[in-house]
Amino acid sequence: MTSGSLGSLPVLLAFATEPLAHLRPLDIAVIVLYFAMVLWIGFYLKGVSNTGEDFFLAGREMTAWIAGLSFVSANLGSLELMGWAGAAYQYGILATHWYWVGAIPAMLFLGLMMMPFYYVSKTHSVPGYLKLRFGEHARVLAAISFATEMILMSGVNMFAMAVVMKVVLGWNITFSILVSSVAVALYVGLGGLRSAIFNEVLQFVLIWGGALLVPILGLVQSGGWTGLETKILANLHSTSYFHLWRDTGHFASNPMGVHWTGILFGLGFVISFGYWTTDFLVVQRVLAAHNLRAARMAPIIGSFFKMAVPFIVILPGLLGLVLLQNPDGTRRVLVGEEVVSACAVNPAQGKLDNPAACSAAMASTRLSPAYKDRVLQAEPSADLHSYNEALPLMMVRYLGPGLLGLGITALIAGFMSGMAGNVSAFSTVWTYDLYKPLMYKTGSDSHYVLVGRLSIIIGVAVSIGAAYLVMHALGIMDYVQALFSIFIAPLLGVILFGMFWKRATALAGFLGLLIGIVFSASLFVWVKLHPAALAMVALSPDAKPMAENVYRALWAFLLTSIIVVVVSLLTRPKPVAELDGLVYGATVLPQEEPAPFYKREWMWACFAVAIFAALNLMFW
Amino acid sequence: MHGSRISIWFFIGVLLIVYGAMIAASGVSEWVTGNYAPGVELVRLHMPVWWGALLGAPGLFYAVKFRPRKRVGAVAHDGAAQKPSPKPNAPPPR
């Protein structure tokens, strides 16, 4: 789930002048070594990825730890790292909701309640489960939606990485796109899902190794958590930055413009459960587990790491509020991309392109009057940086030679793990849910492996095309990112009813999914064309764009649920005997081997719930 | 996973050792010469030295513990559980 504020990231591209950082030979060596290692792993695993189960499901032999780390890592892209650090700079600790209530309950539910059905049905994908439960139509609709979303998102990821490398390091856009895409195509194309999972574990370690030092040094410099609170209060005169729930009683009383009902039901239930339990990108990692207990434990293990991620994402954003400095030693204030673009300097004349627009754009920022004057006079030292640059700016502030290379490697690793996740999931869905049932049903296993490898190469090529499309038509990025939220809520409704209600019928599943997607897309287009409609979608004139996503998902889920229930009651259900392995109450789950209490998934899930509750109370 | 396969933890261990050595060596060089990178905060804490050591120590542990060994019927402790090799041309999953 990416930050909503990243849709405008490409705007930076047009106004990137001086890169934020200059790499030294040691930093370059660190990055080159990383690329060498991921390619080595890909080539090494090529020899053991010859069957369909090996290539598409990593041989179903991953332990809970590997599957769990990969499960979290596939979602820990750099769009996440940078976007949510920027969101924390804007909204404070409220951004943590996307990591805690927006993830943990859903991950635990997946492990404890849903994984048995995904795993026991021996499906290779989420659309594959829909086929078994609701028939071919639902599968094809879900597969087409999902494959399109994956390939476009891969392109967006690719382009976003290239923009970040351009802004942070001054690298050429085409160079960044080609190097990263060729590397991903090679290691996923050679080693399949196993290679993607292994590299995701490596990338997870590097992300922590490269990013963890920033909040540690930031806390040292700010005088610990208490010092940070004191400094934020002194500079920003608000305590809202440190409260998760206290100020969500009304849309207008918190900087994000959201209400607790939207956070709890829209984000905490529909979006979160939709993403973590039905998005094949993450579910595929858990399906690779070597037995049912490992498959159930993997999301639970992942939940502990997910709860820790705000330490390397949210905390740097908060620290940036008070620690980032201008060259003259005053506190640096970050602004939105629209302000950066409005205040662009014409390099030939050394003056602002449009001082009036710049002045108007800066009016709502926290920039001091003196700094605004300097910006209007286009002083070279009075440069503007956007919220999304909070994390790279903090890296540049604290990381010297070698460590900076490691930090940049963490960002690159994040991008590559996201892209690899997209293309490996696309390859499986394309091969088994579209190519095999619709084009060539009687191929051999080796034929489908070949199709899978080719689809990765073609998928990466299409992603590159999507990346350039986004570059030349920036508005498209908003639409591509919206695909996820448009599709996921109806899918959740259909899968939950399919998995937990024996009465749900094939026609109900298909119609619920189709009408839910159309309805969700219509709401999105309505708000795009008439921004005032946001007040109706989110039920408040004070609602901000962040609230739109959560309420749109909530309404789409409710409509899908109503359709599934009504149509199911009007149509004839499958006999219960045909639902074995697919539906709760009609499935006899295999007996798991006895295990000591400290290896049982329920015990660790209770532990995770206790930490989750404690964190929410601590930062209430 | 099969006994002769190299564990992912070994790959990670090796990379962490190399990174740790490079970064720590750079930090030691800065410390000895006093030639710190301009614009970087808290350089007097010599973080490259400590962080390099912190990366290298677990790296060494993983590289040694999960080093490739030829053993009959062994388990590769790489997060891949022991399982018989799938037959070539086995039927695809549903």
User: What is this model's ipTM?
Assistant: 0.83
Chain B interface, best mutation among A24, A121, A205, A394, by max B CB count within 10 A? A205
pLDDT at B82 over 70: no
SS3 B80: strand
Chain A interface, best mutation among B8, B42, B47, B83, by max A CB count within 10 A? B8
- Number of cross-chain residue pairs from A and B with Cβ atoms under 8 Å apart: 143
In order of A6, A373, A400, the CA distances from A546 in angstroms are 12, 31, 36
Q: Select the residue of A29, A206, A445 nearest B92 (Cβ to Cβ).
A: A445
Residues of chain B neighbouring A57 (CB-CB closer than 8 A): 93
d(CA A7, CA A9): 6
Give how far A176 is from chain B: nearest CA, Å.
Answer: 23
The Cβ of residue A43 has, within 10 Å, a number of other Cβ atoms equal to 13
Residues of chain A neighbouring B79 (CB-CB closer than 8 A): 62-63, 65-67, 69, 201
d(CA A23, CA A18): 13
Contact B16 A209 (CB under 8 A): yes
Residues of chain B neighbouring A40 (CB-CB closer than 8 A): 11
pLDDT at B94 over 80: no
Angle at A80 between CA A329 and CA A463, to 5 degrees: 120
The Cβ of residue A16 has, within 10 Å, a number of other Cβ atoms equal to 15
Q: Is A552 left (phi over 0), alpha (psi -120 to 50) or beta?
A: alpha
Contact A220 B45 (CB under 8 A): yes
Max alpha carbon distance in chain A (Å)? 77
The Cβ of residue B54 has, within 10 Å, a number of other Cβ atoms equal to 18
Angle at A455 between CA A452 and CA A458, to 5 degrees: 160
Q: Is A440 exposed, middle or buried (0-12, 13-18, 19+ CB in 10 A)?
A: exposed
Residue B93: per-residue pLDDT:
39
Q: Select the residue of A66, A69, A205 nearest B80 (Cβ to Cβ).
A: A66
Helices marked H in A363-475 = 369-376, 390-398, 403-429, 436-438, 445-472
Strand duo A351-352 + A345-346: pairing: antiparallel
Contact B51 A213 (CB under 8 A): yes
Among A20, A310, A80, A293, smallest CA distance to A203 is for A80
Among A72, A310, A294, smallest CA distance to A203 is for A72
Residues of chain A neighbouring B1 (CB-CB closer than 8 A): 59, 61
Summarised one tens digit per residue, pLDDT across range B27-81 is 999 999 988 888 888 888 999 999 999 999 999 999 999 998 765 544 444 445 5
Residues of B within an 8 Å Cβ radius of A: 1-2, 5-6, 8, 11-12, 14-16, 18-19, 22-23, 26-27, 30, 36-37, 39-43, 45, 47-48, 51-52, 55, 78-81, 83, 86-94
d(CA A82, CA A426): 25
Residue A218: per-residue pLDDT:
95
What residue in B sits closest to A196 (Cα-Cα)?
A: B8
Residue A480: per-residue pLDDT:
65
Q: How far is CA A130 from the centre of its chain?
A: 23
Residue A1: per-residue pLDDT:
54
Summarised one tens digit per residue, pLDDT across range B15-26 is 999 999 999 999
Q: Which two tokens stand for residue B84?
A: 């018989």
Contact B81 A54 (CB under 8 A): no
What residue in A sits closest to B87 (Cα-Cα)?
A: A51
Helix (H) or strand (E) holding A51: none
Residue A13: per-residue pLDDT:
52
SS3 A286: helix
Q: Which two tokens stand for residue A592?
A: 């798991």
Among A458, A436, A383, A471, smallest CA distance to A166 is for A471
Residues of chain A neighbouring B39 (CB-CB closer than 8 A): 396-397
d(CA A543, CA A42): 47
Chain B interface, best mutation among A445, A450, A451, A582, by max B CB count within 10 A? A445
Query: Which pLDDT band, with edges at 50, 70 and 90, does B88 fall under?
Result: very low
Contact B83 A198 (CB under 8 A): no
Residue B24: per-residue pLDDT:
95
| Residues β-bridged to residue A335 | A386
In the 8-state DSSP scheme, what is residue B84?
A: P
Contact B94 A124 (CB under 8 A): yes
Residue A326: per-residue pLDDT:
85
Q: What domains does chain A contain, in order, with CATH numbers? A: 10-324+396-440+448-480 (1.20.1730.10), 337-384 (no CATH)
The Cβ of residue A537 has, within 10 Å, a number of other Cβ atoms equal to 20
What residue in B sits closest to A57 (Cα-Cα)?
A: B93
Q: Mean pLDDT in runs of 10 for chain A (620 residues)?
A: 49 59 88 91 84 85 90 79 85 90 94 85 85 93 89 82 79 86 89 87 88 93 92 85 86 78 86 86 86 91 94 93 86 84 81 86 86 85 83 88 89 83 90 92 91 92 86 64 79 92 94 94 88 83 74 91 96 89 81 80 93 94
For residues A314 and A99, the answer to whether their CB atoms sit within 8 Å is yes
Size of chain A in residues: 620
| Residue of B93 and A405 predicted with greater confidence | A405
Q: Which two tokens stand for residue A85?
A: 């650090």
d(CA A219, CA A323): 10
Q: What is the CA radius of gyration of chain B?
A: 20
Contact B11 A198 (CB under 8 A): yes
In order of A27, B21, B35, B49, the CA distances from B26 in angstroms are 11, 8, 11, 8
